[in-house]
Amino acid sequence: MPAIEAFDVAYENFTLKADFQAGASSCHALILHGAGGSSRATASRSGLRPALQARGVASTSFDCIGHGDTGGLLQYSSLSSRTRQAEAVIAAQNLLHPLSQPLVIFGSSMGAYNAIKLTQTHEVGALILIVPGVYEPAAYDVPFGPQFSEIIRRGRSWADSDACAILSEFKGNLLIIAAEHDAVIPPEIPERLLLAARKAGSRQLRVVAGADHQRLFPLLSEERPDEFDELMGLIVDCAQGSSP
């Protein structure tokens, strides 16, 4: 397999650390990581990016401010900043290794919300949302820290999210992958997102039995390879089905 090609993206006063992994087909996806200890390396360690490459799908990912090789303090970022960081990477990569048009975007956990928000400003042909988190608009511009945490920890704050309203206008392909034993994301969230996407070209919710929020792809790739292969088939069909 070709080596991963690292590149830098200027964003405000930061340098976002990103990388590109080639694929044999014309499909080239952007992968957005989650919060906490997540980084662009998460999708590689989990087996997702190698499996995509093995099936011909190229991928680009980057470390948001406060994560991975980009580093910096989380207080200098926010949900809205993460969306703008993704837009900076999209613009930069389209000059280097163009992303699929319309875009193919993977979003995990918090990154799923950023992926959904990107459909408001970009033509997105496929969304693959993995253990998706969503947030109410009041949290969008608040820097990560105590105030942000206070907002999102309010009981069922996610129920006031604009994510469903945004997805109600989405016309691409939607695949939502949820974990049966997710202690972070209530099962209502992926169900609501699926139901909201009434105009989607295709929509599907896949709940992985026995999986939790932190260990979905590793569980399948390491212990249930047949199921992993079947899930990757669904992912690639969703991604490549968005091509014109």
> Which class is domain 5-240?
alpha beta
**CB neighbour list of residue 195: distance below 8 Å, 6 or more residues apart:** 164
β-pairing, 103-108 with 14-21? unpaired
- Give me the pLDDT at residue 241, please: 83
Cβ-Cβ contacts under 8 Å for 21 (sequence gap 6 or more): 2, 4, 5, 49, 52, 53, 58, 59, 60
> What Rg, from alpha-carbon coordinates, does the chain have?
16
**Which positions ≥6 away from 154 have C-beta within 8 Å?**
none
Amino acid at 102: P
- Cα–Cα distance for residue pair 176/194, rounded to 1 Å: 7
What is the three-class DSSP state of 164? helix
Q: If you search the block for the tokens 């009434």, which residue do you land on? A: 198
| pTM metric for this prediction | 0.96
Residues 6+ apart with CB under 8 A from 50: 1, 44
- E strands along the chain, which residues? 5-11, 14-21, 28-32, 58-62, 103-108, 124-130, 173-179, 202-208
Query: Strand, coil or helix: what is 131?
Result: coil
Return the pLDDT at 242.
Answer: 54
Tens place of pLDDT per residue across the chain (244 aa): 457 899 999 999 999 999 999 999 999 999 999 999 999 999 999 999 999 999 999 999 999 999 999 999 999 999 999 999 999 999 999 999 999 999 999 999 999 999 999 999 999 999 999 999 999 999 999 999 999 999 999 999 999 999 999 999 999 999 999 999 999 999 999 999 999 999 999 999 999 999 999 999 999 999 999 999 999 999 999 999 854 4
Pair of tokens at residue 56: 């011909």
Torsion angles phi and psi, residue 175, rounded to 5: -130, 125
